[in-house]
Amino acid sequence: MSNEARNVYLGVDVGSVSTNFILLDPHEKEDNKIVWKQYLRTQGAPLNTLQRGLKLMNESGVWNIMGVGTTGSGRSLAGAVLGADVVKNEITAHAIAALHENQQVQTIIEIGGQDSKLIVLRDGVVVDFSMNTVCAAGTGSFLDQQASRLELPLGEFGNLALKSINPVRIAGRCTVFAESDMIHKQQLGHGIEDILAGLCGAMVRNYLGNVARGKKLEPVIFFQGGVAANKAMQRFFREELNQEIYVPINYDVMGAIGAAWLAKEKLEREESTTEFLGMRLLDSTFTNKSYECTNCPNNCEIVELWCDGKFVARWGARCGSSS
């Protein structure tokens, strides 16, 4: 790699389970314009994880950051820490990333750590979407939990399930019941492949019944998010929908990619330069404070972010005021 700094856009997706970083080089000739990607476990410490990610990025090459976009449930925090140009919700970010891969995409199935989404597009515009409601049944965390209960590496899960010849039927509506149903089937003596395959099938049915709920899933169909790695899930979606399911190469960091594209779009539209705070973030100490605001009867829970003793940002106020 040459020593000349490469012009790239940084995309960060701070999710419940993982924090993903990507660097996007729009001038890269290859189809895959992602020049670096990093997947880290958030481990409940997003600030720490952000700093770790930046450090790894810095070590991986010489970069000139042209713009920064953040997404995911920790997007506001990440946005404030990094000085992001765009702070965007996951649904828009995922849709933009998929559209950059294929403009014909009409359906995006996204299953992440704690939520699953369906995004419906027509003519390159999001026209409808839905997310899992009150329950997290059928999301990545559950697969994760079951894999560790069975002492299987999560990566093996799908491959093992694919070997199944007679998948058992698992009750997939609720994770607690699914787990007891799985244990019950194990005690009866069913093979582990059949049980895993049954579980994947239940998750697909659960998704189609709860998240997709009667919406029309037209091709081209994308399947992205961490769970898309699971080959058995891919197969069950293909069978249930009777359609080709396309898993993009960077299926696990699509949110981050979308955020980077959005940052690029915005900066070019506004002809401005990035707000990115730079590598000095690595040496800074971040602290957060939370308190209850007593300015009005709403008593909002306010979170404040401080960097090296200096105030950075504050959020949580329902009135929208930042003071």
**Helix residue spans in 207-318 (DSSP H):** 231-241, 254-270
Token output for 275: 């707000």
Please report, as ranges, the residues that interact with other proteins according to CB under 8 A: 73, 88-92, 115, 123, 125-129, 131, 133-134, 214-215, 296-299, 317-322
Return d(Cα 119, Cα 112) in angstroms, integer: 14
Looking at beta carbons only, is 124 or 278 nearer to other proteins? Answer: 124
Query: CB 202 → other proteins: shortest distance, Å?
Result: 22
Query: CB 99 → other proteins: shortest distance, Å?
Result: 11
Query: CB 323 → other proteins: shortest distance, Å?
Result: 8
Query: CB 297 → other proteins: shortest distance, Å?
Result: 4
Looking at beta carbons only, is 109 or 232 nearer to other proteins? Answer: 109
Query: 3-class SS at 55?
Result: helix
Return d(Cα 95, Cα 217) in angstroms, integer: 15
Return d(Cα 223, Cα 245) in angstroms, integer: 7
Looking at beta carbons only, is 289 or 318 nearer to other proteins? Answer: 318
Query: CB 256 → other proteins: shortest distance, Å?
Result: 16
Query: CB 4 → other proteins: shortest distance, Å?
Result: 37
Token output for 198: 């049954």
Return d(Cα 18, Cα 114) in angstroms, integer: 10
Q: How far is CA 161 from CA 126, 143, 186, 223, 241, in A?
A: 33, 12, 14, 18, 19
What single DSSP character describes residue 168?
A: P
Return d(Cα 119, Cα 110) in angstroms, integer: 8
Looking at beta carbons only, is 161 or 260 nearer to other proteins? Answer: 260
Looking at beta carbons only, is 129 or 236 nearer to other proteins? Answer: 129
Looking at beta carbons only, is 44 or 153 nearer to other proteins? Answer: 44
